[in-house]
Amino acid sequence: MGKFSTYRYLELKDSTTTPHISTRTISLKQPRRLKKFFILLIILALCATYFMGLFAGQTQWFDGLAKSLGYESVYHHAVIVDAGSSGTRVLAYKFRVPFTVFGPQSLDLVEEFFAQSKPGLSSHVDDPEKGADTIVQLIKKAEFLTPLEKRKSTPLIIRATAGLRLLPKDKAQQLLSHVSKAISTMGYDIGPNSVEIMAGADEGIFIWYTINLLHNLLGGETMAALDLGGGSTQITYQLSDSEATQYPEADRHVVPAGENVTLYTHSYLNLGLYAARYGIFRLEAGDNATNEFTSVCVDPIIQREPWTYANKQYFISGAPRPAGMKREAAYARCHEVVRRYTLRALDWEPREPPRGAVAAMSFFYDVAADAGVIDVMRGGTVSVAQYRGSALRACSAANVEQPWACIDLAFVIALLHDAYKMRDTDPVSLFKKVNGHEVSWALGLAYSTVMNRMAAAAAA
Active site residues per annotation:
203
Cite the DSSP H helix spans in 166-245: 169-183, 200-214, 241-244
Check the annotation: does 86 bind a ligand: no
Residue 383 near residue 428 (C-beta atoms within 8 A): yes
| Alpha carbon 338 to its chain's center | 24
Sign of CA dihedral 280, 285, 291, 294: negative
Check the annotation: does 436 bind a ligand: no
Check the annotation: does 232 bind a ligand: yes
| Cα dihedral value 259, 433, 359, 162, nearest 10 | -90
Cα(389)–Cα(412) distance, integer angstroms: 12
Check the annotation: does 233 bind a ligand: yes
Q: If DSSP codes are grouped into helix, strand and coil, which group holds residue 427?
A: coil
Cα(393)–Cα(400) distance, integer angstroms: 14
Element (H, E) at 345: helix 327-345
Cα(298)–Cα(319) distance, integer angstroms: 7
Element (H, E) at 380: strand 380-382
In 177-275, where do the E strands start and end?
195-197, 224-228, 232-239, 252-257, 259-269
| Cα dihedral value 97, 66, 70, 21, nearest 10 | 0
Check the annotation: does 231 bind a ligand: yes
Cα(363)–Cα(366) distance, integer angstroms: 5
Give the residue numbers of the binding site for ATP: 230-234
Pick out the residues of the known binding site: 230-234
